[in-house]
Structure 1
Amino acid sequence: MKRILTGVALATTAALVTATPAMAAPKDPVVAVKKRMTPGKGVSFTERTTVSQDGKREVFLRRSGTLQFSKTGIAASDITGKLNITSRDLGDVPDSEFGEILKAVAKPERTIRVGTTSYLSGNMWATLLPEGKTWFKAPKGPAGGVTGTFGQPVNLGEYSTLKTLLKGAKATSHGYTGTIKLGALWKVSPWLRAGSLGAPNAKALKSPIKWRLTVNAAGLPTRLVTTFSTLVNGTGDEGTVSVDTRYTGWGKAVSIKAPPAKDVATSFEDGQDDITSLTEIPLGAYAVTG
């Protein structure tokens, strides 16, 4: 009897194993995203940037926003970013214009970008604008604002970027994983070039960006995690950055417009219109807390 039961058990197990379908590879996200890239459509995201340095790991930045598509990439965007600090974290700051800017850096920054023009509000911009104005217009300004420099370097809303990313990628049970050099990403991604505060140096361009992409049953990206040296975002070479981005609403209707003209300034209160000298202030403010 025992032999009979054993035989039945083995046969049943074999039948179950044979009947179990092999795990299918995830659907191609390049094809899935391309189908949603219609003018007037878009996608939303939330994001967290974490920095590891000297044995310490902490959240550096949180962002959320919406991207509006063109036929091949990003036509417009509306993104809010906030450094993980408060005015209390800054402690005593100088009682000066620079001190006021440092305090303002603890507040959210909102960036609306239409075409190649960025409109910047909140954060340090609020301390620099003429009275009655709440937005600064910056032709060819940073795509995601100054805080965007520390955000996700890989924009999956760009068809060419997604296609390049997936070349040579390894399929996993829930998506794909791989590595891309910053130089390759820089070459193919208009968003990355527009969001940078300056071209990376030769050493940074050779830096690898490790990534892990999760997709849903339709092949649409739901999560992207990238890990790279601080060389990539220009903050040195002694730490590691991890950016975790979650996506929702691929292909939903999106309409992003420039702020009302009456609220927009084209120069600061002092008459200057160059933001180059201001771009390092957020990082410097964060360093005050450490």
Structure 2
Amino acid sequence: MQRLLAGLVGAVVLTVAAAPAAPAAAAPADPVKALKSRVIAGQGVKVTDVTSYVDLEGRTVFLRRTGVLQYGKPVKGGTGTVAAADLRSTYIPHEGPVFNDLDDDLGDERAITVGRYSYIKGAMRYGARQKGKSWIRLKRTLPGGFNGWYSQYVNAAEPATLQVLIKHGERSGRTYKGTIGEAALWKASPWYRAAAIVRPKDRVLQYELTLGTNGLPQRLITSHLAKEHWSESLVNDDVITVETRYRGWGGKVRVTVPPKNQVQTG
């Protein structure tokens, strides 16, 4: 099973669209230190995610996400040094037994998180809205929204997460490849603990992290077996893979909560 997972992930890495190859460059001596130097309140980074279902027949994209992460002072029950986020996701439906259930669970969604509260707009599974209320304020932090269960919740823009990825990865130039149990991420990462809808089993993630010439995360690809989401009889050893790209490091970011008169409490 692990050999098949590695083979499928390798195929994904080869087929994902990538920028033209740049000259080889050494990674900085301490990428985590480089990232911590950018953890400045009111600044942040732009992110884009693409989630795909991968089987022996190819790769099917079913979720895309874009947004910004803002650094700030950590608060109890929040998401660590990434103190705020505004993420918009677009669901792409497909026919077939594997995807049929997703129509009930996923849809276009926007998730705003500030401090220890998350605000969700467009969530399919959270019930009816009150008249005139387009947002729901959750009683917990859920920075990726409900779609986040299928999006990227390994956040390489968080120093604690980057530390774990660097530690467990094998380096080649500016790229680190490796596998990691989710229990290690759960322990290290405030973002991961907040973004996971339920506490995951200790499944294994395979990842490939590429740093930019500035030593900061540029691209992260994570992959895991699809049976964590679907019946094993449907998906066998098929894989879900998420590619995340980071850009605009150090830009000014200001995430604000939705207008109070448009919010109902979940």
TM-score between both structures, scaled by the size of structure 1: 0.71
Look up the match of 2:154: 154
* Correspondence for 2:85: 77
Q: In the alignment, which residue of structure 2 is the partner of 1:247?
A: 246
Runs (4+) off by over 6 Å:
none
What root-mean-square deviation, in Å, do the aligned CA atoms of Structure 1 and Structure 2 show?
2.6
SS at match of 1:50: strand
For structure 2, the 5+ residue unaligned runs are: 1-23, 74-79, 97-102
Q: How does 1:1-290 map to 2 (within 5 A)?
A: 25-27=26-28, 28-53=30-55, 55=57, 57-70=59-72, 73-85=81-93, 105-106=106-107, 108-124=108-124, 128-201=128-201, 205=202, 207-231=203-227, 234-237=229-232, 238=236, 239-266=238-265, 273=266
- Using a 3 Å threshold, how does the CA distance of structure 1 residues 181 and 133 change in structure 2: closer, same or farther? same
Give the whole-Å Cα distance in 2 for the aligned partners of 1:219 and 1:35.
11
* Secondary structure of the corresponding residue to residue 138 of structure 2: strand
Percent of residue pairs identical:
37
Structure 1 residues 249 and 49: CA distance shift in structure 2, 3 A: same
Question: Matched residue of 1:37: which SS?
Answer: coil
In the superposition, the TM-score normalised over structure 2's length comes to 0.77
Q: Give secondary structure in 2 for the equivalent of 1:142.
A: coil
Structure 1 residue 70: deviation in Å?
2.4
TM superposition shift of 1:216: 1.6
Measured after TM superposition, the shift of residue 122 of structure 1 is 2.1
Tell me if the contact between 1:52 and 1:58 (Cα under 8 Å) persists in the aligned partners. Answer: yes
**How far apart are residue 193 of structure 1 and its match?**
1.6
Q: What SS is found at the alignment partner of 2:241?
A: strand
Change (3 A) 1:68 1:234: same
- CA contact under 8 A between 1:200 and 1:234: conserved in structure 2? no
Q: Which amino acid aligns with 2:84?
A: A
In the TM superposition, what is the alpha-carbon distance from 1:212 to its structure 2 partner? 1.1
The answer for the alignment partner of 1:277 in structure 2 is none
Which residue identity lines up with residue 241 of structure 2 in the other structure?
S
CA contact (8 A) 1:186 1:192 kept: yes
* Equivalent position SS for 2:152: coil
Indicate if the aligned counterparts of 2:25 and 2:213 stay in contact, CA closer than 8 A.
no
1:141-167, CA deviations, whole angstroms, 9 ceiling, x for partnerless residues? 422110011111310121111111111
DSSP-derived class of the 1:167 partner: helix
From the superposition, tell whether residues 126 and 153 of structure 1 become closer, same or farther in structure 2 (CA, over 3 Å).
closer
Deviation at 1:33, TM superposition (A): 1.1
The answer as to whether partners of 1:104 and 1:126 remain within 8 angstroms in 2 is no
Give the superposition deviation at 1:243: 0.7
Unaligned runs of 5+ in 1: 1-22, 91-101, 267-272, 274-290
Q: Distance in 2 between matches of 1:113 and 1:121?
A: 12
**Residue 262 of structure 1, CA deviation:** 0.9
Structure 1 distance, partners of 2:148, 2:104, is 19
CA distance in 2 between counterparts of 1:193 and 1:140 reads 11
